[in-house]
């Protein structure tokens, strides 16, 4: 039989999606197999595999154990910050998950209930997520770098029955205490879960006993239980059958406003798409090792640290550490060497950090990285310089692929497992089968080839992409489906060249990417505006050689304010850290006389960003006062 080409697979996926995805669905173990792939009865909201049933956890664990592969390694927990390497087999992971699912059930968690996990990069995070999936409960993982206020907004939106957390996270220079953050979030939130289960780690100041004591006498306080206490009387729980269309998880991501969007992922489409992607994009299968150096709090972590590798019976590496400084710039290559990693997935910012510390790639020479067949990157555009550096020092294909929390898996990639297409620096290559990508002008008409415009995906999106926003179909439709009827608006702009290669150039909205972390400048502006001396402000994402982008705040002071720029900067940094979290990395503040605006009062953020990036900037004819821009130039323009 001749080898399938990307072109033939792609054509098949967009011309006959029904059969394409029913075929792909055969790789999943169903309780009730699908007889139909697409349900378009409620378009523009589409659902996949409407008549099928399964359990995602059973697909990730039980099926491999039942097939006699329980001794294979499912998970390698590798902590560079604690110097621990632990291998967990499929059988052991299944046992841990069954028992923890039993403990959750003891706390009243049942199918459809939400469980919020505020967890760092430890094995218990994976156990917690899979235990929810086992019960048919919906997990919502919150990244540890978010502040209590962000946690509170997720508690109020998802209304969890139980919160699962741990004593804390270990950052290279400090320990982050999670228990006080959860307590503070619960003080702010309206919703209270019935229990908080805490995995206790050594070396932290706050214990469950402390939290319990503090909660005494507090009206409506949740029960605080340690992980060990919760497991004491727990019975292993069976996998609960759910509809393919039932939600598996909610993952909150930044939108343009302060209110995060709760992206909902279903069970069936997710299992099918991720299983398909492992072979066809990453070329990783049973017993092979995939390492995704991200965090379980991000979508990349959900898909390629936890679910996808386990769905196909591969080994996944859970790395608690940084690309540099834990202890050196050889940390990544050491793990490839130690675990025989075949596919490594990271963010461009991590590569830039390594390159800065080790420009010649000397650390690579200290390790045997011959197991590595490809390096995948996502989270932000892979700039050509970083691409060339990584390709040279590693000697393997370096594959940029473009995706979003909303899609859950790649929209554009080199289809490495189908056909290795030539790599072009600066492009995430071509649309992945299932995604019909087009470039549209502001009116929704296709632009000429090579011309930049809004990147949109023709509906229906393939399986595994967002089903809706949690409890808010209207916001789902207004955020993504209304701008270009019949299409999903990605919020990114870019172009397609004559070879069909896609180039993703940046966001068209107020979303920025700082060190591969997606943040909202609109949300930062809302926080900055609460300072008593601030009359007006704009926060824009400016180019940063290490982090991709960094947020910069420009503030107009209230008349009569006497606060110094330094003092204001200190206050604002503190406000944003406590409002969003340290991960916002908000450090730049400048006081300006006025902000450039249109006559209708809209701040010209794009013009400011172009000016700050040293680009040719566009000045709309509707500008209120040109002199404001001239005055800003000396503050905004990059210093030579
Ligand atoms: N919990 C608590 N705080 C966290 C955190 C977490 N999980 N992750 C980061 N932070 C904090 C850091 O401690 C730091 O705090 P500080 O300002 O008090 O020092 C702040 O958030 C910013 O951290 P970070 O974004 O990690 O920046 P950095 O300068 O410390 O490190 C990199 C730069 C490039 C090494 C780092 O950002 C990195 O590894 N990025 C890769 C990100 C990634 O993989 N993203 C996945 C997308 S696919
Ligand atoms: P997130 O939802 O955090 O994954 O962020 C998604 C956004 O990150 C996208 O909309 C893009 O703006 C950006 N992004 C992710 N991957 C890439 C990539 N490979 N190239 C360009 N931009 C990317």
The ligand minimizing its distance to the Cα of 428 is: 2
Show the 3-state SS of 126-168: HHHHHHHHHHCCEEEEECCCCCHHHHHHHHHHHCCCEEEEECE
pLDDT in tens, 150-166: 999 999 999 999 999 99
Q: pLDDT tens across 37-55, in order?
A: 999 999 999 999 999 999 9
Q: Is residue 578 part of a domain?
A: yes
Residues in the chain: 640
Q: What pLDDT, in 10s, does the model give residues 473-527? A: 999 999 999 999 999 999 999 999 999 999 999 898 889 999 989 999 989 999 9
The protein residue with its alpha carbon nearest to ligand 2, atom 4, reads 404
CA nearest neighbour of 463 among 32, 27, 133: 27
Report yes or no on 567 lying in a domain: yes
Ligand 2 cavity residues, CB under 6 Å: 253, 299, 378-381, 400-405, 428, 491-492, 504, 507, 513, 518
Q: Is the pLDDT of residue 354 over 90?
A: yes
DSSP H helices in 201-358 = 208-215, 227-232, 268-277, 299-301, 308-311, 331-339, 348-357
Which has the closest alpha carbon to 572: 594, 585, 587, 561?
Answer: 587
- Please tell me the total count of domains within the chain: 1
Strand bridging mode 47-48 / 38-39: antiparallel
- pLDDT tens for 528-586 read 999 999 999 999 999 999 999 999 999 999 999 999 999 999 999 999 999 999 999 99
Sign of CA dihedral 285, 289, 295, 296: positive
Summarize the confidence of residues 328-344 as an average pLDDT: 98
Residue 103 lies in a domain: no
Range of the domain at 635: 514-639
Q: Tell whether 501 is covered by a domain.
A: no
pLDDT tens sequence across 65-76: 999 999 999 999
Q: Whose CA is nearest to atom 20 of ligand 2?
A: 381
**pLDDT at residue 12 tops 60:** yes
Starting from the CA of residue 143, give the closest ligand: 1
Residues with Cβ within 8 Å of residue 82, at least 6 apart in sequence? 170, 320
Choose the residue to mutate in 349, 357, 381, 544 for probing ligand 1, maximizing ligand atoms within 8 Å of C-beta: 349
Compute the distance between CA of residue 137 and CA of residue 574 in angstroms, rounded to an integer: 36
Q: What's the CA angle centered on 57, arms 459 and 23, to 5 degrees?
A: 45
523, part of any domain = yes
Instruction: Indicate if the pLDDT at residue 82 is higher than 80.
Output: yes
Q: Is residue 484 part of a domain?
A: no
Region 91-117 average pLDDT: 98
What contacts 564, CB < 8 A, 6 or more positions away? Answer: none
By most ligand atoms within 8 Å of CB, the mutation choice from 252, 304, 379, 414 for ligand 2 is 379
Which atom of ligand 2 approaches the CA of 298 most closely? 3
Angle at which helix 348-357 crosses helix 384-394, to 10 degrees, equals: 70
* Ligand 1 neighbourhood includes 176 CB (under 6 angstroms): yes
- Over residues 176-188, mean pLDDT: 97
**With bands split at pLDDT 50, 70 and 90, how would you rate the model's confidence at 455?**
very high
- The 3-state DSSP class for residue 589 equals strand
Alpha helices in 471-604 (DSSP H): 473-476, 521-528, 565-579
Is 311:271 a contact under the CB 8 Å cutoff? yes
Q: Of the residues 399, 405, 492, which should be mutated to test ligand 2's pocket, given the most ligand atoms within 8 Å of the CB?
A: 492
Mean pLDDT for 397-422 is: 98
For the segment 611-625, the average pLDDT, to the nearest whole number, is 84
pLDDT digits (tens, 9 = 90+) for 254-284: 877 778 899 999 999 999 999 999 999 999 9
Of the candidates 108, 242, 94, the residue with the CA atom closest to the CA atom of residue 163: 108
Return the pLDDT at 260: 86
Taking residue 573's Cβ as centre, other Cβ atoms within 10 Å add up to 18
- Predicted structure pTM score: 0.95
Q: Is residue 628 predicted with pLDDT exceeding 90? A: no
Report yes or no on 221 lying in a domain.
no
Mean pLDDT computed over every residue of the chain: 95
Average pLDDT value for residue range 309-330? 98
Q: Which two tokens stand for residue 209?
A: 């006993």
pLDDT at 1: 46
Going 135 to 183 to 231 to 168, the CA torsion angle's sign is positive
Structural tokens at position 150: 């962000």
CA nearest neighbour of 462 among 416, 418, 417, 411 = 411
The CATH number linked to 533 is 3.30.300.30
């Amino acid at each position: 039989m001749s080898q399938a080409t990307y072109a033939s697979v792609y054509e098949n996926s967009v011309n006959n999606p029904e059969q394409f995805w029913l075929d792909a669905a055969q790789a999943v173990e169903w309780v009730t197999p699908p007889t139909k792939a697409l349900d378009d009865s409620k378009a523009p909201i589409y659902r996949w595999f409407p008549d099928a049933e399964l359990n995602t956890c059973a697909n990730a664990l039980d099926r491999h154990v039942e097939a006699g592969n329980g001794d294979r390694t499912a998970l390698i927990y590798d902590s560079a910050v604690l110097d621990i390497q632990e291998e967990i087999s499929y059988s052991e992971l299944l046992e841990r998950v069954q028992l923890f699912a039993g403990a959750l059930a003891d706390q009243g968690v049942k199918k459809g209930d939400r469980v919020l996990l505020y967890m760092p990069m430890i094995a218990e995070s994976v156990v917690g997520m899979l235990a929810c999936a086992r019960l048919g409960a919906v997990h919502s993982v919150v990244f540890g770098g978010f502040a209590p206020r962000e946690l509170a907004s997720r508690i109020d939106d998802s209304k969890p029955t139980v919160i699962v957390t741990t004593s804390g996270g270990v950052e290279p220079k400090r320990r982050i205490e999670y228990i006080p953050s959860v307590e503070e979030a619960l003080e702010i939130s309206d919703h209270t879960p019935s229990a908080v289960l805490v995995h206790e780690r050594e070396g932290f100041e706050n214990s469950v006993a402390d939290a319990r004591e503090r909660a005494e006498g507090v009206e409506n306080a949740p029960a605080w239980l340690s992980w060990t206490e919760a497991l004491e009387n727990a019975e292993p729980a069976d996998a609960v059958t759910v509809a393919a269309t039932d939600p598996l998880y909610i993952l909150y991501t930044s939108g343009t406003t302060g209110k995060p969007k709760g992206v909902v992922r279903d069970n069936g489409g997710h299992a099918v798409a991720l299983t398909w992607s492992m072979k066809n994009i990453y070329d990783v299968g049973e017993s092979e090792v995939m390492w995704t150096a991200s965090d379980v709090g991000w979508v990349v972590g959900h898909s390629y640290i936890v679910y996808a590798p386990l769905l196909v019976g591969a080994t996944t590496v859970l790395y608690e550490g940084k690309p540099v400084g834990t202890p050196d710039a050889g940390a990544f290559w050491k793990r490839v060497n130690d675990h025989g990693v075949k596919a490594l997935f990271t963010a461009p910012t991590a590569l830039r950090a390594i390159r800065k510390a080790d420009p010649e790639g000397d650390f690579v020479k200290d390790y045997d990285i011959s197991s590595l067949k490809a390096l995948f990157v996502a989270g932000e555009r892979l700039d050509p310089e970083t691409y060339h550096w990584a390709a040279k020092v590693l000697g393997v294909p370096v594959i940029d692929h473009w995706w979003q929390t909303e899609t859950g898996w790649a929209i554009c990639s080199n289809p490495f497992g189908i056909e290795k297409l030539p790599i072009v620096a600066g492009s995430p290559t071509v649309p992945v089968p299932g995604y019909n990508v087009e470039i549209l002008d502001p009116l929704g008409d296709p632009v000429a080839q090579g011309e930049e415009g809004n990147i949109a995906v023709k509906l229906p999106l393939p399986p595994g992409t967002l089903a809706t926003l949690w409890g808010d179909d209207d916001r789902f439709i207004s955020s993504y489906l209304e701008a270009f009827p019949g299409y999903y608006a990605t919020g990114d702009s870019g172009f397609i060249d004559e070879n069909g290669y896609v180039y993703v150039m940046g966001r068209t909205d107020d979303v920025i990417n700082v060190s591969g972390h997606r943040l909202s400048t609109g949300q930062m502006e809302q926080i900055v505006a609460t300072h008593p001396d601030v009359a007006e402000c704009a926060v824009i994402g400016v180019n940063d050689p290490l982090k991709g982008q960094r947020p910069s705040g420009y503030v107009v002071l209230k008349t009569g304010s006497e606060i110094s720029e330094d003092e204001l900067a200190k206050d604002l940094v503190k406000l944003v850290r406590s409002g969003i979290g340290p991960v916002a990395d908000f450090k730049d503040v400048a006081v300006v006389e006025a902000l450039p605006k249109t006559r209708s009062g809209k701040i010209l953020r794009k013009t400011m960003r172009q000016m700050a990036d040293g680009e040719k900037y566009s000045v709309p004819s509707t500008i209120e006062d040109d002199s404001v821009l001239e005055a800003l130039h000396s503050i905004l323009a990059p210093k030579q």
